[in-house]
């Protein structure tokens, strides 16, 4: 069974940084686009960032552009999300996801596999 396991979440003060990691159990995913979503209490899950299979292209939501960096290490089957200048509105459960598709990254149904999520809490 293919698994995606996130780690690195936690509680941080506003202005702080966190680095999320997502390890995949299958090397097959090294040829797939990987991404991050988040879901705050009472809100819908939203796109945060995505990265092409070779890391050559990245995509970001406007809300995190300039503050977050997505990267991947295919040798470790892992995708990362570096988050800086965190704000209380970044508080959410963060999920990693994988898709074989190469477009429509903002759409939830584009993504086939999901992790269980990791909580990020930013205090003011």
- The whole-number pLDDT of residue 67 equals 98
pLDDT tens-digit readout, 47-70? 999 999 999 999 999 999 999 999
Tokens for 123, please give them: 């205090």
E strand or H helix at 94, and its extent?
Answer: strand 92-99
Let me know: does 91 contact 26? Beta carbons within 8 Å.
no
Sheet containing strand 78-83, edge to edge, reads: 4-7, 18-24, 78-83, 68-73
CA distance 77 to 68: 20
d(CA 100, CA 30): 10
As a whole number of angstroms, the distance between CA 90 and CA 64 comes to 9
From the number of C-beta atoms within 10 Å of its C-beta (0-12, 13-18, 19+), residue 121 rates as middle
Are 76 and 26 contacting, i.e. CB atoms less than 8 angstroms apart?
A: no
For 97-113, the pLDDT digits (tens) are 999 998 899 999 999 99
Percent of the chain with pLDDT over 90: 91
pLDDT over 90 (residue 30): no
| Average of per-residue pLDDT across 31-50 | 96
* R_g over Cα of the chain: 13
């Amino acid at each position: 069974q293919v698994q995606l396991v996130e780690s690195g979440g936690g509680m941080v003060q506003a202005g702080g940084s966190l680095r999320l990691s997502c390890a995949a159990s299958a090397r097959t995913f090294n040829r797939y686009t990987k991404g991050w979503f988040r879901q705050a209490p009472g809100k819908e899950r939203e796109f945060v960032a995505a990265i092409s299979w070779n890391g050559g292209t990245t995509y970001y939501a406007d809300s995190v552009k300039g503050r977050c960096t997505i990267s991947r290490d295919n040798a470790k089957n892992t995708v990362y999300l570096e988050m800086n200048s965190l704000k209380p509105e970044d508080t959410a459960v963060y999920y990693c996801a994988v898709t074989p598709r190469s477009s429509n990254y903002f759409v939830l149904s584009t993504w086939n596999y999901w992790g269980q999520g990791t909580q990020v809490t930013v205090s003011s």
